[in-house]
Structure 1
Amino acid sequence: MIEGIKETNFHFPNQTGFYSGKVRDIYFFEDKLAMVATDRISAFDVILPRPIPYKGQVLNQIAQKFLKATSDIVPNWISDAPDPNVSIGLKCDTYAVEMVIRGYLAGHAWREYKEGKRVLCGVALPEGLKENDKLPEPIITPTTKAMEGHDEDISREEILAQGIVPESEYIQLEKYTRALFQRGTEIAAEQGLILVDTKYEFGRFNNEVYLIDEIHTPDSSRYFYKEGYEDRQAAGEKQKQLSKEFVRQWLIENGFQGKEGQQIPTMTDEVVQSISDRYIELYEKVTGEPFEKQSGTNVAERIQKNIKNYLAKH
């Protein structure tokens, strides 16, 4: 098994800054940035100890495909992709919220509901729902965008009261979020999938709202297989899904939920390989295209060379 790329530490001409997130390493320049999708994997806001081969390529190429497929709804930040793991585009001023939208009661929303909560981020939920039930209509449940540590649920009212986003702009973000989710739902349906929930991030450039980061990838979205969904719900069975939830479930089963004092379970070669296989499966299922594995040797060297060549020409 090839080793995934866990981190990068490049230095480019005219570079003005660097930021390492949970998954992406970002190189800043005067008016643009280069975003490197590494093979790091995080769950419960904790970066796990081993990278997942090809995960960064999967995320980067899915995001590029869906940013292109939604550019008629809202402009996005990407301008070029000089490497399978790299996107280059506009350096936007980021809004300090993530716009989470949910069409079904799954994941975090279900865990909150199961504990008896009937209001999530200021949105009331009906009684009598089961895990993975379709909601009466999609709901927006924003979170704060933490530079480190945990993102926290926040309501529309709190966002406006705290002045995190001006009301007129927040209304625009909500409108874009619903339109993007509708488009994502339609694209997923064409591939026999249900887009369960996802998140979008936005920024501003020249006083215009842009869609930033990535969209509709397994790290930011949850998908169910459409075939058999209703039968599984009726029988009270677990849904067959494509998302990062299987990683969270593996951690939960091994006694880890990111809480103080808990130890991350050992990631064997078999576990790493199975996660890599699931990411590739999701790529092929979501895009409807075969995944072409890029060279596994000296990945960091390849990425650095391709960014350097791009910068020299632009």
Structure 2
Amino acid sequence: MTLAQKILANNNDLPIRTDQPVHSGKVRSVYWLSDEDSARLINQRGYPVASNAQLAVMVISDRLSAFDCIWHGENGLHGVPGKGAALNSIASFWFDSFKQEGLAPSHILDVPHPLVWIVQKARPVKIEAIARQYITGSMWRAYAKGEREFCGQRLEEGLSQNQRLEELLITPSTKGVLKGLAGVPEADDVNIARADIERHYQSFGFEHLDDISRYETLLKQGFSVISKQLDKIGQIFVDTKFEFGYVDDADGNSQLIYMDEVGTPDSSRLWDATEFSNGNVVENSKELFRQKLLSYFPDPDILLNKDRMDERENLAKNNELPAEIMLEVSGVYTNMAEQIIGSPLYKPENPRQEILDALNEEYKLIQ
């Protein structure tokens, strides 16, 4: 079997039994289960959820996204070997750590295969909850141009690039386009202040005003758990994205939970601590791939300028990246996963067939 055949590039065409359209994102696809299959699995597997909860099968691919585009490489590499398994294993590890620390559960109920989660449908909070411990990336670029206020919070003068901030900074942005909210731009992924969230808390998906403080607490606690554990393996937790939602527990009580993914090389920025102490920034996350793209193409403005999105999409569609770039990214993701989970990462040899076998034999979800 070739390396390309070990990559799960398409994850939205699996014969998983569902009576709704498959929701396919840049990396994951979601198959909503019927009421009958949801109730059957809740009963058979003893999931700690309400008896009428809707479940879904979430399948992660090995696709590689950056700058809002999907990239591919030569030799038929329509993804990065081991990337999906690495992301799932890391996120599962952190969610388990949060639960063990008594913070909050996640939407994950079961892991039938390294590329698959069975999750409970959540009522999402429409916020990308971003936490920053260092000033770098887009925040540094804005700061260098003279901006000092970020999401209603003012930074002091005299900061330098990649400097550690005195306190963890929460810089939320919109998730999806919200319309008709005073002071909130009608666009995806735009910065918002806490005052905006308080003023429109129900439109953002919060069930209670006090839950804004609850989500901030869970964000800070989760960041601390990850940061302390990464420190033990010589990695710096620079910044990350959290997402939250509501589910009903087995007693029918609504609770705020973690969802999506957290602490992965896709959703976070990770630096090598030893190199950083020597004045060097060595990226161990998707940021490495972004930097490779900016160096590889002669006009990096295409990747950075949102007004050139059509050109960017054509760039991604019509260019096969060198295999060494794809494999270097694969190595970074695999290495980070193995360091975090403390064991070798299982990388499927035949991911599609393995997923079908796992969901058919024990879960009876294949048509």
TM over 0.5: yes
Match status 1:288 vs 2:289 = no
| Aligned position for 1:6 | 9
| AA matched with 1:6 | A
Superimposed CA distance per residue, residues 165-210 of structure 1 (whole angstroms, 9 cap, x where no aligned partner): 3532211111100110011111111111111111111111122111
Q: Say which one has the larger Rg.
A: 2
Give me the identity figure in percent: 30
1:48 shift after superposition: 2.1
Name 1:18's counterpart in structure 2: 22
Q: TM-score, structure 1 length as denominator? A: 0.90
Distance 1:193 1:270 in 2: 24
* Cross-structure match for 1:257: 303
* Residue 60 of structure 1, aligned match among 77, 88, 97: 88
Alignment match, 1:186: 228
Larger mean Cα displacement after TM superposition, 35-44 or 282-291: 282-291
Change (3 A) 1:271 1:202: same
Q: Please list, as runs of the form range in 1=range in 2, the aligned pairs for 1:130-145 lying within 5 A after superposition.
A: 130-145=160-175
Asked if the contact 1:193–1:224 (Cα under 8 Å) also holds between the matched residues in 2, the reply is yes
Relative to structure 1, the CA distance from residue 14 to residue 21 in structure 2 (aligned partners, 3 Å threshold; closer, same or farther) is closer
**Aligned-partner SS, 1:48:** strand
Q: Is the 8 A contact 2:103 2:221 kept in 1?
A: yes
In structure 1, C-alpha distance between the alignment counterparts of 2:66 and 2:260, rounded to whole Å: 18
Q: C-alpha offsets along residues 7-51 of structure 1, whole Å, 9 cap, x if unaligned? A: 221233354442111110111124111111101111122222431
Alignment of structure 1 residues 111-190 onto 2, 5 Å? 111-146=141-176, 151-163=189-201, 164=204, 165=206, 166-190=208-232
**Is contact 1:41–1:52 with CA below 8 Å preserved after alignment?**
yes
Q: C-alpha distance in 2, partners of 1:38/1:245?
A: 19
Would the aligned equivalents of 2:338 and 2:345 in 1 still touch at CA under 8 Å?
Answer: yes
Between the aligned partners of 1:109 and 1:202, the Cα distance in structure 2 is 23
Aligned 8 A contact 2:131 2:219 in 1: yes
> Bigger shift: 67-76 or 111-120?
111-120
The one-character-per-residue Cα deviations of 1:106-164 (angstroms, maximum 9, x if unpaired) are: 222222222221112222112111221100100101121138x9522222222233332
Indicate the SS of the match to 1:66: helix
Quick one: which of 28, 48, 60 aligns to 2:71?
A: 48
Map 1:162-311 onto structure 2 (within 5 A). 162-163=200-201, 164=204, 165=206, 166-206=208-248, 207-232=254-279, 238-253=280-295, 254=297, 255=300, 256-257=302-303, 259=306, 260=308, 261-262=311-312, 263-264=315-316, 266-295=320-349, 297=350, 299-311=351-363
Matched-pair contact (CA < 8 Å) for 1:102–1:140: yes
What displacement does 1:301 show? 2.3
Of 87-96 and 302-311, deviating more is 302-311
Quote the Cα distance in structure 2 between the aligned partners of 1:154 and 1:294.
41
**Other-structure match for 1:235:** none
- Counterparts of 2:26 and 2:121 in 1: how far apart (Å)? 19
| Deviation for aligned residue 1:84 | 0.8
Deviation string for 1:227-270 (max 9, x for gaps)? 242331xxxxx412311101111122222415413423541222
User: Does the 8 A contact of 1:70 with 1:180 survive in 2?
Assistant: yes
Counterpart contact for 1:193–1:286, Cα < 8 Å: no
Q: Which moved more, 1:187-196 or 1:46-55?
A: 46-55
Contact 2:131 2:168 in 1 (8 A): yes
Query: Does structure 2 retain, via aligned residues, the 8 Å contact 1:105–1:131?
Result: yes
The answer to whether the 8 A contact 1:191-1:288 is kept is: no
User: What secondary structure, in the 3-state scheme, does the structure 2 residue paired with 1:42 have?
Assistant: strand
Q: CA RMSD in A?
A: 2.0
Q: TM-score, normalised by structure 2?
A: 0.78
Amino acid at match of 1:286: I
Rate the CA distance shift 1:210–1:282 in 2: closer, same or farther, 3 A.
Answer: same
SS at match of 1:245: helix
Q: What amino acid sits opposite 1:292 in the alignment? A: Y
Contact 2:89 2:341 in 1 (8 A): no
Tell me how many residue pairs correspond in the alignment: 305
Residue ranges of structure 1 left out of the alignment (5+ in a row):
233-237
